[in-house]
Amino acid sequence: MLQKIGYRYLILIALAVVVAVLPLIFPSSYYFRVASLVWVSALAAIGLNVLMGSAGQVSLGHAGFFGIGAYAVAIGPAHFGIPPWAALLLGCIISSLLAYLVGRPILKLKGHYLAIATLGLGVLVALVITTESRWTGGPDGMPVAKLVLFGWRVSGSDTWYWVTGGLLILGTWIALNLNDTPTGRAFRALHDSEVAARVAGINVARFKLQAFVIAAAYASIAGSALALMNGFINPDQAGFLHSVEMVTMVVLGGLGSVVGSIVGAAVLITLPQVLTVFQEYEHLLLGFIIIVSMIFMRDGIVPTLSRILAKRTQA
Amino acid sequence: MTILAARDIGISFGGVKAIDDVSFAVSPGQILSIIGPNGAGKTTLFNIVSGVYERDQGQVELSGEDVTGLTPDKLATRGLSRTFQNLQIFQRMTAAENVMVGRHLRERCNLLADLFRLPSVTRQNAETRDAALAFLDDVGLRSSADVPAGSLSYGACKRLEIARALASEPRVLLLDEPAAGCNAVETEEIEELIRRVAAKGIAVVLVEHDMKLVMKISNHILVLNRGKPIAEGKPQEVRDNPAVLEAYLGKHGAREAARA
């Protein structure tokens, strides 16, 4: 246990160092933007990893919650005059509430059936956002007011780099906290054997719902952060492709590994940027790399690499 | 004084009566064994009593209260725990964590406190781990505490399941073939363990194929065949019951056994 506590802070310190040191090697503000995008995506992926990696329940509609968060900070200030930071919290509450209400019936489903039900939820949210153009600007999207905190106007890609980096560290801390607590153990237990978890007195339905709500809250806050950072939002952020992208980040990085979700997000965001030099072959190569890495690192990048590393140090 | 009683339990799967009118009762500190040939319905009976299956008829009483149809987690809060014939280990967790999950009902579990890892959570974690290590010690697995459960041997997993079940400090423990796949030494250890559990006042219901073990430790034996009770009583009475011999060995075998 002592090792575990040390391990938790080691990860946080390493992450903080990475966030602090990266700007030193950034040649232009474009890099700040890409890195901020990684931090935001990683935040959403970490939340989804609580649901998928720890509790073992799939969600193919998670971009829906991302979209709710994003449109909350767009619609709140524009139509209701709510300050952006309050709209962020409100979006998080709405997402959590929706996850709670919808999760109760659909989390009774398992495997593929749950995947389809969550997919439906995501599609539904995207549909509402696209069609309610009076509120959302429809398929064209809508502008997002600048975030103002205590008179401080948050703008510029380097400022957003630090804000999103801070959010990611906070999100990582919470996700790491959860792992070795009664709640975290209940998640992992019901993942491995639902019947044994129930016999141990775990209310499986309740804990699945908790994991679903946590994941929705993470996605919502990440969505709000992205919308505020970009100053613009369109329905693609709530769409099915974005849901798939989030799942890919979690699986590619390593199910159940918090660091894995960050690495998965980093790979999936930066790889297309790197591959642009190959022009029309970009997507082909991206797909190829993902397939190859899933074949050779089936448990995900981080768990596989740490296992190899552990073997090396033992030998 | 009866702590767990099942009355006239019955369940059918697609027209086949898997359990038909089975009753039993067990008192604190007693060891009741349920035996019978393969397919007799022993595990099905366990699944009904522990709330995993829903029975078609009959009633289950725990501490004098009707608990028929309650889910396993509700039954756990009332002091019923069990192990599984086909292992149900949390493979991706360490042995210690498996047993810590068994302490779930003995822990305060608050989502917000857990998310922010309040000092109380850390303190409780240490207590739970200490308790889990003591239970692992009980089954001789203390040295494997931090080994992933998925890499433990079959026999060790069997004992780990018992430790996890005991960790909830149950009043009734259902053991589904705890000695299956164990060698003679391990079986003896399990026998000792079951005796210690019963000595603590826990009611033990045992499904087991190892007859030597069953005959040695049971206070009472219930014999099932094709879902029906065919005999019950003290080990000696059951051993000499012709119906039991016939169920296990067939008519011809029973004649041979009588001659032997």
pLDDT in tens, A210-264: 999 999 999 999 999 999 999 999 999 999 999 999 999 999 999 999 999 999 9
Domains in chain A: how many in total? 1
Q: A178 contacts in B (CB within 8 Å)?
A: 114-115
For B179-205, what is each residue's pLDDT tens digit? 988 888 889 989 999 999 999 999 999
Query: Which range of residues forms the domain containing residue A14?
Result: 2-245
Q: If pLDDT is split at 50, 70 and 90, which confidence band does A5 have?
A: low
Chain B residues 75-114 within an 8 A CB cutoff of chain A? 76-77, 81-82, 84, 88-93, 97, 100-102, 104-105, 107-109, 111, 113-114
- ipTM of this complex: 0.92
Asked if A188's CB is within 8 angstroms of B114's CB, the reply is: no
> Could you report the per-residue pLDDT of B130-167, keeping only the tens digit for each?
999 999 999 999 999 999 999 999 889 999 999 999 99
Q: What domains does chain B contain, in order, with CATH numbers?
A: 4-259 (3.40.50.300)
Q: Is residue A254 part of a domain?
A: no
Chain B touched by A192 (CB under 8 Å): yes
pLDDT at B257 over 90: no
Pick from B90, B165, B168: CB nearest A189: B90
Q: Which 34-93 residues of chain A touch chain B by CB within 8 A? A: none
Q: How high is the pLDDT of residue A1?
A: 46
In the A/B pair of chains, how many CB contacts fall below 8 A? 105
User: Does residue A102 belong to any structural domain of this protein?
Assistant: yes
CB-nearest to A181 from B73, B89, B121 is: B121
A282 touches chain B (CB under 8 A): no
State whether A1 and B129 contact (CB < 8 Å).
yes
Q: A200 and chain B: CB distance < 8 Å anywhere? A: yes
Question: What pLDDT does residue B158 have?
Answer: 92
Residue A270 lies in a domain: no
How much is the average pLDDT of B77-97? 95
Residue B171 has what pLDDT? 96
pLDDT at B157: 93
- Chain A residues with CB under 8 Å of B123 CB are none
Q: Which residue of A has its CA nearest to B168?
A: A200
> Is residue A214 included in any domain, yes or no?
yes
Give mean pLDDT, residues A27-34. Answer: 92
Smallest CA–CA distance, residue B231 to chain A, in Å, is 30
Q: Are B58 and B12 in contact (CB under 8 A)?
A: no
Q: Would an 8 Å CB–CB cutoff place A191 in contact with chain B?
A: yes
Indicate whether A306 belongs to any domain.
no
DSSP chain B: --SEEEEEEEEEETTEEEEEEEEEEE-TT-EEEEE-STTSSHHHHHHHHTTSS--SEEEEEETTEE-TT--HHHHHHTTEEE--SS----TTSBHHHHHHHHTGGGS---HHHHHTT-HHHHHHHHHHHHHHHHHHHHTT-GGGTTSBGGGS-HHHHHHHHHHHHHHT--SEEEEESTTTT--HHHHHHHHHHHHHHHHTT-EEEEE-S-HHHHHHH-SEEEEEETTEEEEEESHHHHHT-HHHHHHHHHHHHHHHHHH-
Closest partner CB to A182 (pick from B90, B93, B104): B104
Does A202 contact B100 at a Cβ distance shorter than 8 Å?
A: no
What is the predicted pLDDT for the residue at A315? 67
Task: Return the bridge partners of B82, or none.
Answer: B174
- Inside any domain, residue A291: no
Inter-residue contact A210 to A181 (CB < 8 Å):
no
Mean confidence (pLDDT) of chain B: 93
Identify whether A138 is part of a domain. yes
Selecting from B77, B84, B92 the residue whose C-beta is nearest the C-beta of A192 gives: B92
Q: Which residues of A touch B51 (CB under 8 A)?
A: 198
